[in-house]
Amino acid sequence: MSFVEYSELIQEGDVVIIFLGHDSMMPVKVQSGAQTQTRYGVIRHSSDLIGQRFGSKVTCSKGGWVYVLHPTPELWTVNLPHRTQILYTTDIANITLMLDLKPGSVVCESGTGSGSLSHSILRTIAPTGHLHTVEFHAQRAEKAIQEFKEHKVSHLVTVRNQDVCAEGFGITGVADAVFLDIPSPWEAVTHAKRALKRKGGRLCSFSPCIEQVQRTCEALLNHGFEEICTLEVLLRVHDVRSVTLPLPDFGPEEDCTNSTQMASDLSQEEVPNTGNTSVICKTATPPREMAGHTGYLTFATKPRD
Amino acid sequence: MSFVEYSELIQEGDVVIIFLGHDSMMPVKVQSGAQTQTRYGVIRHSSDLIGQRFGSKVTCSKGGWVYVLHPTPELWTVNLPHRTQILYTTDIANITLMLDLKPGSVVCESGTGSGSLSHSILRTIAPTGHLHTVEFHAQRAEKAIQEFKEHKVSHLVTVRNQDVCAEGFGITGVADAVFLDIPSPWEAVTHAKRALKRKGGRLCSFSPCIEQVQRTCEALLNHGFEEICTLEVLLRVHDVRSVTLPLPDFGPEEDCTNSTQMASDLSQEEVPNTGNTSVICKTATPPREMAGHTGYLTFATKPRD
Amino acid sequence: MAECVNDSDAESAINYGDYVVLKRGDVFKSVQVENKKKVIFEKQWFFLDNAVGQLYGTMFEIEAGGSLKPKAVKRAGDSLDSKEAGQDNRHIVDDGRSQKLTRDDIETLKEQGLKGQEIVQQLIDNSTTFKDKTEFAQAKYIKKKKKKYESDITVLKPSTRLLAMMYHGREPGKICHLRYDTLAQILTLGNIHAGSKIIVFETCAGLVLGSVMERMGGFGSVIQMYPGGGPTRAGMESFGFPSHFHETLHEFPLCKVNALLAGTLDLSEKDTDSQANGSRIGGSDSSQETSGVSEEKNSEPQSMEVSVDPQEEMKRAEREKLREQRAQEKKVKMEEKRKKLASAAALLEGRNADGLVIASRFHPCPVLMGLLKFVAPSRPFVVYCQYREPLIECYTKLREQGGAISLRLTDSWLRHYQVLPNRTHPVLLMSGGGGYLLSGTTVATDAAKARNQHKSEEPAAKRLKLDEISSSCDSSAKAISVV
Amino acid sequence: MAECVNDSDAESAINYGDYVVLKRGDVFKSVQVENKKKVIFEKQWFFLDNAVGQLYGTMFEIEAGGSLKPKAVKRAGDSLDSKEAGQDNRHIVDDGRSQKLTRDDIETLKEQGLKGQEIVQQLIDNSTTFKDKTEFAQAKYIKKKKKKYESDITVLKPSTRLLAMMYHGREPGKICHLRYDTLAQILTLGNIHAGSKIIVFETCAGLVLGSVMERMGGFGSVIQMYPGGGPTRAGMESFGFPSHFHETLHEFPLCKVNALLAGTLDLSEKDTDSQANGSRIGGSDSSQETSGVSEEKNSEPQSMEVSVDPQEEMKRAEREKLREQRAQEKKVKMEEKRKKLASAAALLEGRNADGLVIASRFHPCPVLMGLLKFVAPSRPFVVYCQYREPLIECYTKLREQGGAISLRLTDSWLRHYQVLPNRTHPVLLMSGGGGYLLSGTTVATDAAKARNQHKSEEPAAKRLKLDEISSSCDSSAKAISVV
């Protein structure tokens, strides 16, 4: 298992995602002899996981069962231990596309945070690219290094524990793309410019507040960035369900009205052999509440020097 | 005809809306002897309009036909002569509800602009309320007065031609609600407060730019307004249409696969007696482009003095 | 006239019997002010008696024993500017400083005049874990925090805005998840205003009915169509309308729509009744059929024993008297009911309603097609449905059938903003959806177009006939034409 | 390693044969650079020859005769602060001052470093009539203004971003109205990355295929499933991938899916063919059946005359030779085709694909149910559809059938912002919708669950069988198991 390559079978040391049911998962590090407690009972790593195929069903001690999944950056994003606020898949997807990331891209990121975006970047730029990620907070940087090792992607990433606004990314002229998720992105624009290749590259800054966006756009313009573009993406999940709609009873049908007739036409269309009292309709409904904002994404192009 | 009361029949002097087809309308002032040219030919007011029932079909000289509609504030909004940018029905609806408008409400508005919102306010506060509308621009104020007269609502409205930021609304302590659609709403907050009743009232400010919202909210807070709340509403129109979805051809069906069988199950559900090649699906699609922003609506409550 | 201040404080004092809206933070509750009645709101209980005589809009604290005490009015007016740029949530996180606002921070915010809701937003912004919670957990978090920092209760006069927000926030299921901005669209697109005649069919607890009545201001008439046992009006009652508003409200059962349309609605007893010949009514089985709601079922067991015991005899006489009294009462009620039915029928029969509003859990398509017949040409109609598919069907059916133009199927998207210096952004949680609307304008139905229709035979002739009827009935809304 | 600059300018020079993206304002066009080829872009025509040898990212002016001239690089860097607060569109309107920016204003804006697009936004903001135009008229207005103020052309290296925005802006119908942010979701939710084996079925002009290949970087394999006549690849070609990328691309016709699943796919000639015994191929009718696309139809009329004219004889001999040559060519092509089919079949037959992407105008439900069988357990799949209803059906079917978890039906909402001092607001026009996605993760199908299914008899056994097969075939992706 690695976050940049699929494996067929579960091995010692792998991180697997235990799927317990709708929106309920947990990450587990596989160690022979170890056990994991779930609400369906105990999973014994040696007998239940090691050697099993990813995606298979594992029966727990209480008779319940779970699926064991191969980790992906997307599964990691919803399962990772939170050290900070994290970026979610909808924003990550757009960042990846709008930064033109692909295998071989050299990318700078700050801050590393909980590594949600980092894993996704690494997946995309492997096997020939490199990620330079800068994290101000020492313990977080340390933890990220450790995670990257466990996830078998450490050969693709350099973690630096420094203040990006003061010290930059620690590289010059090698990056295809720079991503900023810091409180004062405008203070890091010069460093971002320096990190990008002479022939140019792309930049993205993520900020929750519009004032941050305003100051960042101004700094980008002042530093010669082009195609400055701010956007926002919201995901809406739809629940698929069947709903029952009662039909109105307009009373006994008289010869010169056609309203009930209409109603029965309808029910014929939808519930052939039932009484005229209701129709069932397959529909999709949005959740009562959803994420209404994560942050603004500002993109820009550094032109050739 | 009046904008605050329905009539059955078209009369001399009425404003009627000629409905020419999907999203194509024009307002006409009915005058005996007059004619109106449409793409379907001429409409003769004396014979084709006066005495006809609102909502009836009128055949034009070229044989085409149109519907003649009773004016409503909503039809007026999409048909009025533009002297400024105007407010549209989606925002108007929310302004009306969030300002607690109803028959009897006393409302202040600035600027009058093209009168789109004014007509809607007048409809709602009639027959016992009053609108005090302030317009900086003399010709626009004059035109509004004239329109209100023609629309038989002038008894419900006072138009003032003055600068609301400098001179206020010209009234004190009588308003239930104040609406601001001006470039610097923060400069009118004191005047708004003065116009509102001692027992309190509601305020709304419409601004396209977030910087205007920020300054307005600050001013509202500084002047003791409460429940300050900024929101944005976007309307999405869905086109209802039938779409044809081809079914894939997986080749001749073999005994141990069920994919084509699946496809035929499907087509049975949806096009009973047709070949297996496609299904028709009734759906609603959003337009390719829609209004992505009109303005931010900021609401606030003036508490009791 | 402009300076005439019609703003007496008398009219805005809270009284016993008033329907009021309690506000705490942005949570609302509608109650009637009653003597020594315990009110439970957001897990706190108290009595409203001390609020009586106070002015609407007053804020109260809850004291020991559940009595309310008016709070001293605090002069707001402090600016929020003191918070510096860059001091937003991200910064706090990335500095490696405290990842949450401290208790002191919150006190500072409070002193700066931040309202409870804003403090909660601050807490959210500064919680590193908030965004990572599930939606459910987020909502719970907000609720918990709100409870803590928003404890004062304000007593407000009800309005569509407050009640619509209350229902949407607390019991969206009761109002078919109709969001307040969607209700706003309904009222505006429906051109609801004083003096018009509006047909309303809703299963939104009476909220839609009440909001229509508010916009009518007691002028004109509202005909509430109702399904099954009777109209739901709790939401409407919560508006606390003056009594003359109620005189403008009529009701008509859906199950008599066909009879009304066919001209076979049985109202013949109406005139005879009023001429005192009431004996047939109580016993007639047909009356029960027409009554719609039979509120009272005689619970008294009908004794079949024959006895000569004088006490028994007295009891029997008494029972007999009671029964007759009941029958008489019932007769009067039935009579009232019939009168109401007749007046609603008279309003509908003109087929000249000025608008139609539908917002129900029923399939909107048959409802719309049935009720649209009562609307005059050149009038707006609005249909709300929580789901999209049924309105697609309505749209298709209307297009086929004609009689309506400017059809629009819409939904709307609503987002609130936090506006604070250097921390301006959309609120993190938003409503997933506000339901769908189909709106349009009626026009005179047309024989030529009907002839080109799918179903070719009878509808054309039929529609023409209906059309003629409705034209001929226009000016005779009061007369009940018995066909 | 960190300071090693792998940024040679040589690799980023424009060459003949390159696929490039032309940019003017925010309008894009994809073209191949060819010798003296006239290119028409936004109603202007020119030749790209002068661009050859220049670096990617260079901006050109069009000179007389349609030749391009590189523009001098202008140092940007002026702040926009000079516009004052309050000087927004509303103010201009209400002051009664000029209701539009004057020509001078525009020049000033230009000097301030505003790009064409921003100037257009300014014009919009300052047009009193813009908001009042219909949506169509608004779009037209923008386009007209853009043409006027954005005339320079930049030559860019193609990328998913540019091509996705290009197709969405210019020819959304060709890509089933797939919006770029939705494509972004597809690629991420599909976990598309180097080294994996991805099945793609699309009718989006090859854009989705190309974007998947870009993310694979020439590592791993892509199997394009295609309907009818053959795969569409124009969009993929526009990426201008190096040739080794093309070696990772395989194709397989949908119409052979059943045969492949049944194990009856006729590839028997494959081995014999490669051993030079090719005579049977050309004549065999079955080959035509298996070929899918028969690109070349012999247009030469087969002469049936018998003649002894020596010239005729020579001609005939020549014709014969030509015919044989053609047959030989055809044979080679058929052979290539068969090899390609065999290699695609081999990749599929392992039933261990690492992902499945569907984005087509076909009903997604049968496509998904058919192709999901080729995907290994614990792998993501993503289905795009412009409409909602077909994906609801997919969702329901998958729930019934099992074998997939974490099903999510989503759409997304995208809005761009104008960020300018004191004039920050969302862009006035936005896309109405970006289409719908159904995504999920495959899991091993399970006998127990299958037994509880609606269709009770065979599917359980069948699925179990398929499952066993796919397990036993995992490590033998190269071997073709003929059942």
Angstrom distance (rounded) from CA B239 to CA C438: 11
Out of B71, B88, B103, a domain closes at: B71
Which DSSP string corresponds to C215-271? Answer: HHTT-SEEEEEE-TT----HHHHTT---HHHHHTEEEEEGGGHHHHHHT----THHH
Q: Given a contact as 3+ CB pairs under 8 Å, which chains touch A? A: C, D
Shortest distance between the Cα of C111 and any Cα of chain B, in A, equals: 14
In CATH, what number is assigned to the domain containing residue B133? 3.40.50.150
- Note whether C259 contacts A251, CB cutoff 8 Å: yes
Q: Evaluate whether C443 touches B55 at the Cβ level (below 8 Å).
A: yes
> Mean per-residue pLDDT for D310-318?
82
Q: Are residues B111 and B256 in the same domain?
A: no
> Mean per-residue pLDDT for C4-13?
60
> What confidence category does residue D452 fall into, taking pLDDT thresholds of 50, 70 and 90?
very low
Amino acid of residue C376: A
Which has the higher per-residue pLDDT, C123 or C400?
A: C400
Angstrom distance (rounded) from CA C420 to CA A302: 32
**What chain A residue is nearest to D354 in terms of C-alpha separation?**
A6
- Note whether D370 contacts B262, CB cutoff 8 Å: yes
> What confidence category does residue C8 fall into, taking pLDDT thresholds of 50, 70 and 90?
low
Compare CB distances from D426 to B84, B247, B293 and report the shortest one's residue.
B293
- 3-state secondary structure at position A287: coil
ipTM of the complex: 0.86
Q: Evaluate whether A41 touches A85 at the Cβ level (below 8 Å).
A: no
Cβ neighbours, 10 Å, residue D311? 8
Interface test with C, best of A91, A133, A205, A289 (most C CBs within 10 A): A289
* Per-residue tens of pLDDT for chain B, all 305 residues: 999 999 999 999 999 999 999 889 999 999 999 999 999 999 999 999 999 999 999 999 888 899 999 999 999 999 999 999 999 999 999 999 999 999 999 999 999 999 999 999 999 999 999 999 999 999 999 999 999 999 999 999 999 999 999 999 999 999 999 999 999 999 999 999 999 999 999 999 999 999 999 999 999 999 999 999 999 999 999 999 999 999 999 999 755 444 444 444 443 344 443 456 999 999 999 999 999 999 999 999 999 98
- Note whether B127 contacts C81, CB cutoff 8 Å: no
Residue D308: its pLDDT value, please?
61
**What chain B residue is nearest to C394 in terms of C-alpha separation?**
B240
Q: Are residues A170 and A54 in the same domain?
A: no
> Mean per-residue pLDDT for D24-36?
94
Shortest distance between the Cα of C414 and any Cα of chain B, in A, equals: 5
Q: Are residues B270 and B137 in the same domain?
A: no
Residue C26: its pLDDT value, please?
85
> Mean per-residue pLDDT for C352-356?
98
Is D161-261+350-473 a CATH 3.20.20.140 domain?
Answer: no
Tokens, residue A21: 């049911």
Q: B166 CB near a chain D CB, below 8 Å? A: no
Residue B215: its pLDDT value, please?
98
Domain ranges of chain C: 10-71+153-157, 89-149, 161-262+349-412+439-473
Contacts of A282 in chain D (CB under 8 A): 392-393, 396
Kindly tell me if the per-residue pLDDT of D276 is higher than 50: no
Kindly tell me if the per-residue pLDDT of D61 is higher than 70: yes
Strands B296-302 and B41-44 come out as unpaired
**Residue A1 domain flag:** no
* A127: preceding bond cis by omega (within 30 degrees): yes
| Residue positions forming the annotated binding site of A | 114-117, 135, 181
- The total number of residues written for chain C in this structure: 483
**Residue B6 domain flag:** no
- Note whether C131 contacts A236, CB cutoff 8 Å: no
Compare CB distances from B214 to C55, C354, C424 and report the shortest one's residue.
C424
Type and span of the H or E element at B54: none
Q: Are residues A114 and A227 in the same domain?
A: yes
Judge whether B265 is annotated as a binding position: no
Q: Are residues A31 and A117 in the same domain?
A: no
Q: Are residues A148 and A104 in the same domain?
A: yes
Q: Are residues A128 and A196 in the same domain?
A: yes
Shortest distance between the Cα of A205 and any Cα of chain D, in A, equals: 14
The residues that bridge with B66 in the sheet, in sequence order, are B58
Interface test with D, best of A52, A94, A119, A242 (most D CBs within 10 A): A94
- Note whether D215 contacts A56, CB cutoff 8 Å: no
Residue C121: its pLDDT value, please?
60
Residue D77: its pLDDT value, please?
39
Q: Are residues A85 and A212 in the same domain?
A: yes
Out of A27, A48, A71, a domain closes at: A71
Contacts of D374 in chain B (CB under 8 A): none
Angstrom distance (rounded) from CA B191 to CA B174: 12
Residue B87: its pLDDT value, please?
97
Tokens, residue C114: 């931040």
- Note whether A211 contacts C428, CB cutoff 8 Å: no
Q: Evaluate whether C422 touches C87 at the Cβ level (below 8 Å).
A: yes
Domain D10-71+153-157, architecture per CATH: Roll (3.10)
Percent of chain D at pLDDT above 90? 55
Shortest distance between the Cα of A90 and any Cα of chain D, in A, equals: 7
Burial of residue C29 (number of CB atoms within 10 Å: 0-12, 13-18, 19+):
middle
Q: Are residues B83 and B225 in the same domain?
A: yes
Which structural domain range is residue B274 located in? 239-285
Kindly tell me if the per-residue pLDDT of D269 is higher than 90: no
- 3-state secondary structure at position A257: coil
- Note whether C395 contacts B240, CB cutoff 8 Å: yes
**Residue whose token pair is 């329109």:** B147
Contacts of A293 in chain C (CB under 8 A): 415, 425-428, 430
Kindly tell me if the per-residue pLDDT of D290 is higher than 70: no
Contacts of D159 in chain A (CB under 8 A): 100
Q: B262 CB near a chain D CB, below 8 Å? A: yes
Contacts of B79 in chain D (CB under 8 A): none
Q: Are residues B61 and B83 in the same domain?
A: no
Residue D266: its pLDDT value, please?
82
Total of domains in chain A = 3
For chain C, how far is it from start to end, CA to CA, in angstroms? 53
Shortest distance between the Cα of D331 and any Cα of chain A, in A, equals: 38
Q: A284 CB near a chain D CB, below 8 Å? A: yes
**What chain B residue is nearest to C191 in terms of C-alpha separation?**
B72
pLDDT digits (tens, 9 = 90+) for D99-125: 344 445 555 554 444 555 555 566 555
**What chain B residue is nearest to D201 in terms of C-alpha separation?**
B248
- Note whether D362 contacts B266, CB cutoff 8 Å: no
Q: Are residues A249 and A116 in the same domain?
A: no
At the fourth CATH level, which superfamily is domain C161-262+349-412+439-473? Vaccinia Virus protein VP39 (3.40.50.150)
**What chain C residue is nearest to A281 in terms of C-alpha separation?**
C389
Question: Which residue from B98, B188, B179, B71 is spatially nearest to B133, judged by alpha carbons?
Answer: B179
CB pairs under 8 A between B and C: 223
pLDDT digits (tens, 9 = 90+) for B121-177: 999 999 999 999 999 999 999 999 999 999 999 999 999 999 999 999 999 999 999
Which has the higher per-residue pLDDT, C288 or A174?
A: A174
* Per-residue tens of pLDDT for chain A, all 305 residues: 999 999 999 999 999 999 999 889 999 999 999 999 999 999 999 999 999 999 999 999 888 899 999 999 999 999 999 999 999 999 999 999 999 999 999 999 999 999 999 999 999 999 999 999 999 999 999 999 999 999 999 999 999 999 999 999 999 999 999 999 999 999 999 999 999 999 999 999 999 999 999 999 999 999 999 999 999 999 999 999 999 999 999 999 755 444 444 444 443 344 443 356 999 999 999 999 999 999 999 999 999 98
In CATH, what number is assigned to the domain containing residue A35? 3.10.330.20
Burial of residue C303 (number of CB atoms within 10 Å: 0-12, 13-18, 19+):
exposed
- D10-71+153-157 and D161-261+350-473 agree in CATH topology: no
> What confidence category does residue C9 fall into, taking pLDDT thresholds of 50, 70 and 90?
low
Dump strand ranges (E) for C107-193. 153-156
Compare CB distances from C426 to A252, A287, A292 and report the shortest one's residue.
A292
Taking phi over 0 as left and psi of -120 to 50 as alpha, with beta for the rest, C12 belongs to alpha
CA D183 from centre of chain: 9
Interface of A with D in 66-85 (CB under 8 A): 67-70, 72-74
Q: Evaluate whether C202 touches C218 at the Cβ level (below 8 Å).
A: no
Q: B22 CB near a chain D CB, below 8 Å? A: no
**What chain B residue is nearest to D390 in terms of C-alpha separation?**
B281
Q: Are residues B57 and B87 in the same domain?
A: no
